[in-house]
């Protein structure tokens, strides 16, 4: 058993000692069987949420309505979800009600793909009622049960299917694929936030080119905000090395570079992304074509944005000047304004003037004077420089 599971063994033991069943489930079991890195583990149990809360001393109601209780155990937080079935699906997304149950098999039955419907017990045994291991051996993604019904219950599963194609370099089993072809329109019912989560994971997958091909084949473009009729954008993405993007922010930036929307902010807002990410990407987009940077431009733009621009360049061209630029940035006399050895109050005192627009203006010129080596970043040199500038302008 991998260390990450071993560490969680006491959690399962406690549940079992209290008379309940408990298993590792979901992506962690799948990834372990595939020999892939396991990021976080999910635990499923026959104990109902209230029962889970009685067994552990530190618990948090993270998603209690869905049966998920977080517990703190040996310094880690684990999510424990009660076995459940899902009631009727009136609107092609999320069930109308979840019903807690005591049966593992029924819980596995509601899961999306066979490879995600395998449980692992404390004894290391796998419970795999739908042949997930066989499908994985065949590199196939197969819906649990009738794919048509499963995509009607929750259309996001189609997006997840394509995301797993990208991450695992598997193919979609024939009937699963056909059901997607016939039901792709149901994606219009899915909240954009949920699509975004899958989309960005898809973009970071090793077989992203195959997945991008599927997006076109399955006519998914109209359900991705800002992508309607954007086949050219997909082709650009296909021609780049998306795997080197790494983080979400760079990935979204690269997506923006492929789509070239008229209004970057509006494009990213349509995906309901965090404001901070929108701001960073919009800033980088304005500088995307910049190749040569003066010291002052490096300073004023900031390392984060310059890195973003250069990472995107790496994705697009397999070349980047980031190593050089980073070295130059680190060698600047100051990396941020907070390092300047004089405050606004100091400057007002030296200038013998009250605050006002002049101060902001002067601070900007002070940055530049320090960055360009005109003066050193010391109280005395800054004081001399301020007096000189004030006299000149008087
Ligand atoms: P990742 O490695 O990216 O976390 P994952 O398969 O663990 O992939 P999660 O979103 O963490 O994905 O979901 C955990 C498990 O819950 C899945 O493995 C699957 O069994 C089940 N699941 C998640 N989303 C759905 C869904 N929309 N429909 C059915 N089952 C789902
Ligand atoms: Mg997971």
Contacts of 341 (CB under 8 A, 6+ apart): 377, 378, 379, 382
How far is the centre of ligand 1, averaged over its atoms, from the C-alpha of 83 (Å)?
14
* Choice from 25, 116, 142, 160 to test ligand 1 binding pocket (greatest atom count within 8 A of CB): 116
- pLDDT tens, 74-111? 899 999 999 999 876 667 776 778 899 999 999 999 99
Position of tokens 């309607």? 228
Which candidate, 17, 21, 39, 22, places its Cα nearest to that of 30? Answer: 39
337-393 and 241-332 share a CATH fold:
no
120 vs 35: CA distance, rounded Å: 15
Note the pLDDT of residue 62.
86
| CB of residue 116 inside a 6 A radius of ligand 1 | yes
Going by alpha carbons, the residue nearest to atom 9 of ligand 1 is: 27
Note the pLDDT of residue 90.
66
Q: In what side-by-side order are the strands of the sheet with 76-82?
A: 59-63, 68-73, 76-82, 42-45, 22-25, 119-120, 126-127
Domain 139-224: give its CATH code. 1.10.110.30
Which candidate, 220, 140, 201, places its Cα nearest to that of 176? Answer: 140
Report yes or no: 79 and 70 within 8 Å, Cβ to Cβ: yes
Annotation-wise, does 111 bind a ligand? Answer: yes
| CB of residue 59 inside a 6 A radius of ligand 1 | no
Bridge partner list, 82: 45
Q: Residues of the chain whose pLDDT is less than 50?
A: none
Domain 337-393: give its CATH code. 1.10.246.80
Position of tokens 């063994």? 9
Is pTM beyond 0.85? Reply is yes
Please return the burial class of 343, using the count of CB atoms within 10 Å of its CB with bins 0-12, 13-18 and 19+: exposed
| CB of residue 26 inside a 6 A radius of ligand 1 | yes
What are residue 46's phi and psi, to 5 degrees?
Answer: -85, -10
- pLDDT tens, 121-179? 999 899 999 999 999 999 999 999 999 999 999 999 999 999 999 999 999 999 999 99
Going by alpha carbons, the residue nearest to atom 1 of ligand 1 is: 27
351 vs 136: CA distance, rounded Å: 73
Provide the residue ranges of all domains of the chain, joining segments of one domain with +.
1-135, 139-224, 241-332, 337-393
- For the domain made up of 241-332, give the CATH fold: Methane Monooxygenase Hydroxylase; Chain G, domain 1 (1.20.58)
At the top level of CATH, which class does the domain 1-135 belong to?
A: alpha beta
What are residue 42's phi and psi, to 5 degrees?
Answer: -115, 140
* Choice from 4, 23, 26 to test ligand 1 binding pocket (greatest atom count within 8 A of CB): 26
């Amino acid at each position: 058993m991998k260390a990450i599971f071993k560490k969680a063994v006491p959690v399962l033991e406690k549940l079992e000692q209290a008379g309940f069943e408990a298993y590792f489930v979901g992506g962690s079991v799948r990834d372990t069987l595939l020999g892939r890195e396991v990021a976080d583990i999910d635990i499923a149990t026959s104990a109902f949420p209230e029962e889970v809360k009685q067994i552990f001393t530190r618990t948090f109601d993270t998603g209690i309505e869905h049966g998920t209780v977080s517990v703190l155990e040996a310094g880690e937080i684990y999510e424990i979800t009660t076995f459940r079935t899902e009631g009727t699906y009136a609107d092609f997304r999320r069930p109308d009600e979840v019903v807690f149950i005591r049966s593992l098999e029924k819980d596995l039955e509601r899961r999306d793909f066979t490879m995600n419907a395998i449980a692992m017990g404390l004894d290391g045994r796998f419970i795999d009622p739908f042949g997930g291991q066989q499908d994985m051996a065949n590199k196939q993604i197969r819906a649990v049960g009738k794919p048509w019904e499963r995509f009607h219950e929750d259309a996001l599963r189609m997006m997840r299917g394509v995301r797993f194609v990208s991450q695992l370099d598997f193919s979609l089993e024939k009937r699963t694929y056909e059901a997607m072809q016939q039901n792709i329109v149901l994606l219009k019912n899915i909240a954009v936030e949920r699509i975004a989560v899958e989309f960005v994971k898809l973009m970071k997958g090793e077989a992203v080119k195959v997945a991008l091909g599927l997006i076109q084949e399955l006519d998914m473009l109209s359900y991705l905000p800002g992508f309607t009729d954007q086949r050219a954008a997909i082709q650009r993405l296909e021609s780049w090395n998306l795997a080197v993007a790494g983080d979400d922010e760079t990935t979204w930036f690269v997506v923006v570079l492929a789509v070239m929307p008229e209004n970057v902010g509006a494009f990213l807002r349509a995906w309901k992304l965090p404001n901070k990410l929108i701001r960073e990407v919009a800033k980088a987009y304005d500088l995307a074509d910049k190749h040569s940077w003066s010291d002052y431009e490096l300073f004023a733009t900031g390392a984060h944005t310059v890195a973003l621009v250069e990472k995107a360049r790496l994705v697009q061209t397999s070349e980047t000047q980031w190593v050089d630029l980073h070295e130059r940035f680190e060698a600047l006399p100051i990396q941020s304004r907070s390092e300047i050895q004089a405050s606004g109050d100091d400057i007002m005192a030296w200038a013998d003037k009250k605050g006002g627009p002049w101060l902001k203006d002067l601070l900007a010129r002070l940055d530049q004077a320090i960055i360009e080596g005109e003066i050193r970043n010391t109280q005395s040199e800054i004081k001399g420089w301020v007096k000189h500038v004030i006299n000149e302008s008087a």
